Amino acid sequence: MVFNSVYFLIFFLIFFFAYWAINNKFSIAIRNLFIIISSCFFYGLWDWRFLSLIIISSATDYFTGYLLSRTTQKLYRKGLLISSIVINIGILGFFKYFNFFIDSLNELLLIFSMKINITTLKVILPVGISFYTFQTLSYTIDVYKKRMEATTDFFSFFAFVSFFPQLVAGPIERASHLLKQFQIRKKFSYDLSVSGLRLILWGLFKKIVIADNFGVLTDRIFEQEAVIPGISVIVGAIFFALQIYADFSGYSDIAIGISKMLGFDLMVNFSTPYFAKSFGDFWRRWHISLSIWFRDYVYIPLGGNRTGNLRTHFNIFITFFLSGLWHGANVTFIIWGGLHGLALIIDKQINNKISSYIYTPFVLIIVVLLWIPFRAENISHLINLGEALINLKNYSFGHLSHIIIEFSRIRFYFLCLVVIIFLLLEYNMSLNDFNTWIYKKSRPARILIYYFLIFAIILIGNYSVKPSFIYFQF
């Protein structure tokens, strides 16, 4: 069940009215229990078996936090933290990386002419495991570091972990921000609900109009079997840049909007990243909750920028290497993360020495090109795309033209016009989110934008693809 489906609309309408009725008549604990049951139902429609993993993660970190709050013995506290990390990362590692490491080991042994067939398992990746694992881990670490008090309310903690709007694809919330919101009674707000509906409309526009249309084009361009001209690789990278941004930020906007309608405040996860002025600026705008998580729990513990230039560069590279690995069990993601790490290291050396009129578009070009390894299916596919990109004799438009004709020229031209308007709106937003930005507009301007979004969704929204979000696989 995904946000852009009729089933979710029915689910949320029932949940919304029942939630506010329960919130107003019953205790906070009963309301949180209702959130937990509804969230488990929402998640269980993907695969009810993996609910056990959420329960294990929640119970592990709840009781770890409880025990940490009752002792001051350093060795015992460290043991509790290590146990929590081992259990959480162990579960994540098994389901997400077991086959990857086995396949990599087999390939490594073949290089040394050692043929040992270590069998892989048919392991299914649980939806959202990377997100809720990082969320529960941040709680344990913060309690261990004494940045926050441990909670004794299991219902509020489990509701914080399983909260369905952001359960499967974030934002990755910190307990210090979100957990306490489950411990107070909510009061229905018309203004918050309207704000939430604005964000939902904006998110659905990005998902159904931009992401799902460019997703079809991107898939056709990057088909592994096809011989792809260099120009198609470049255009495919541009299309995928639009797809993944609209898809993921669209999900985040909808999640934040739904939460607002329920009286919860989630952090902003994207802030017009393609208008960033540097690579550092890009990562302050892209998947903000993950960037902050890696900054606080990987980069800073490694020493951050406090240990000299060489060590700082090493810390940056390791952080982005792990960020790439977090995105998926594939060498291509590691390459993508490593290249972004190198780009950020170089960025720190040259950023202030080049005119922003030159450097800003350069950053955008590199960011777009770096989506190629992210989109590649495997290393051989990436090599083929790289070869096509540098083969200057193979830059024919025929392949691209054929794909556009299959897609529909008229639909493609309308889509390009809508994208131009979309990017102009994003540029005008600057660092504001859609809700804050449009609230400052005059009433006629707001109505015009609403109608544009609604008509775009109705007229050129892509309803032929199976409803899904890219980051569900992470």
Check whether 12 has a pLDDT greater than 80. yes
Check whether 414 has a pLDDT greater than 60. yes
Q: Choose between 94 and 284: higher pLDDT.
A: 284
Check whether 117 has a pLDDT greater than 90. no
Q: How far apart are CA 316 and CA 305, in angstroms?
A: 9
Q: How far apart are CA 67 and CA 69, in angstroms?
A: 5
Q: Choose between 379 and 256: higher pLDDT.
A: 256
Query: Whole-structure pTM over 0.75, yes or no?
Result: yes
Residues 6+ apart with CB under 8 A from 418: 209, 210, 456, 460
Average pLDDT, the chain: 90
Check whether 107 has a pLDDT greater than 70. no
What pLDDT sits at residue 211? 96
pLDDT band at 134, cuts 50/70/90? very high
pLDDT band at 101, cuts 50/70/90? low
Count CB neighbours of 107 within 10 A: 11
Q: Of 106-110, 192-196, 209-213, 324-328, where does mean pLDDT reach its minimum?
A: 106-110
What pLDDT sits at residue 115? 58
Task: Kindly report, residue by residue over 248-260, the tens digit of the pLDDT.
Answer: 999 999 999 999 9
Burial of 297 (0-12, 13-18, 19+ CB in 10 A): middle
Count CB neighbours of 377 within 10 A: 14
What pLDDT sits at residue 392? 76
R_g of the chain computed on alpha carbons = 23
Task: Kindly report, residue by residue over 388-405, the tens digit of the pLDDT.
Answer: 898 877 888 888 888 999
Would you please indicate which residues are annotated as catalytic (active-site) residues? 327
What are the structure tokens assigned to 185, written together?
């009674």
pLDDT, mean of residues 58-64? 95
Domain locations along the chain:
6-188, 191-473
What pLDDT sits at residue 120? 54
Check whether 14 has a pLDDT greater than 60. yes
Instruction: Produce one character per residue of 117-126: b if its CB has 16 or more CB atoms within 10 Å, e if not.
Output: eeeeeeeebb
pLDDT, mean of residues 54-82? 93
Q: Of 36-45, 405-414, 460-469, where does mean pLDDT reach its minimum?
A: 460-469
What pLDDT sits at residue 251? 95
Check whether 163 has a pLDDT greater than 90. yes
What pLDDT sits at residue 110? 56
What percent of the chain is predicted at pLDDT more than 90?
72
Q: How far apart are CA 25 and CA 49, in angstroms?
A: 33
Q: Choose between 96 and 209: higher pLDDT.
A: 209
Check whether 222 has a pLDDT greater than 80. yes
What are the structure tokens assigned to 356, written together?
């922003």
SS3 content of the chain, % helix, strand, coil (to 5): 75, 0, 25
Q: Choose between 313 and 124: higher pLDDT.
A: 313
pLDDT band at 349, cuts 50/70/90? confident
Q: Which amino acid is at 44?
A: G
Q: How far apart are CA 394 and CA 413, in angstroms?
A: 25
Q: How far apart are CA 383 and CA 385, in angstroms?
A: 5
Query: Token match 């040394």: residue?
Result: 112
pLDDT band at 170, cuts 50/70/90? confident
Q: Choose between 268 and 112: higher pLDDT.
A: 268
What pLDDT sits at residue 432? 84
pLDDT, mean of residues 276-304? 94
Please report, for residues 15, 26, 34, 187, the alpha-carbon distance to residue 21 in angstroms, rounded to integers and kept in the order given.
10, 8, 11, 11
pLDDT, mean of residues 330-352? 91
Task: Kindly report, residue by residue over 71-96, the tens digit of the pLDDT.
Answer: 889 999 999 999 999 999 999 888 88
Check whether 114 has a pLDDT greater than 70. no
What pLDDT sits at residue 433? 86
